[in-house]
Amino acid sequence: MFKSSFWSSFYPSFICFLIILVGSILPSSNVKEIEISDKLLHFVFYAIFSFFLFLLSHKETLCLDTLIKKWTFVFTVGTIVGLSIEFIQYTLIPSRSGEWLDILANSVGLITMLSSIYLLKRISVL
């Protein structure tokens, strides 16, 4: 399913980024109250985002020829996005607040997905 060139293109990562961005900058009064921990949402969305970034890292134009370079790319982009959004929430959006635990949940989501991808590649599932 993920062998199609669409999945390794820029679009899935960008769409996931837009979903994260819009969900993060909407005033909290516009966001429906949900019963799920917001840290769990951070974890899940950044795990999905890192999966699409990992697929994107296979593009030859990025010149990421080793697994370490791909992981570094995914973790760096994901971390910069997460930090930037938390900074924007802290400084520019009065009804939102940036939190260190959100950054931690984002990072754990990134690392968990990268570790899962590594294990799945080791057993030849991916």
Looking at the domain assignment, is residue 47 inside a domain? yes
Structural domain of residue 64, as residue ranges? 38-122
Count of beta carbons in the 10 Å neighbourhood of residue 40: 11
Q: pLDDT 10s per residue in the chain (126 long)?
A: 566 788 888 999 999 999 999 999 887 665 566 667 889 999 999 999 999 999 999 888 888 989 899 999 999 999 999 999 999 999 998 888 889 999 999 999 999 999 999 999 888 776
Spatial distance between the Cα atoms of 114 and 108, rounded to a whole number of angstroms: 10
The pLDDT score that the predictor gives to residue 109 is: 98
Looking at the domain assignment, is residue 28 inside a domain? no
The pLDDT score that the predictor gives to residue 94 is: 84
Looking at the domain assignment, is residue 31 inside a domain? no
The pLDDT score that the predictor gives to residue 5 is: 82
The pLDDT score that the predictor gives to residue 83 is: 97
Looking at the domain assignment, is residue 49 inside a domain? yes
Looking at the domain assignment, is residue 15 inside a domain? no
Looking at the domain assignment, is residue 7 inside a domain? no
pTM of whole model > 0.95? no
Looking at the domain assignment, is residue 104 inside a domain? yes
Looking at the domain assignment, is residue 29 inside a domain? no
Spatial distance between the Cα atoms of 49 and 54, rounded to a whole number of angstroms: 9
Count of beta carbons in the 10 Å neighbourhood of residue 95: 11
Count the domains in the chain: 1
Spatial distance between the Cα atoms of 73 and 71, rounded to a whole number of angstroms: 5
- Give the phi and the psi of residue 98 in degrees, each rounded to 5: -75, 140
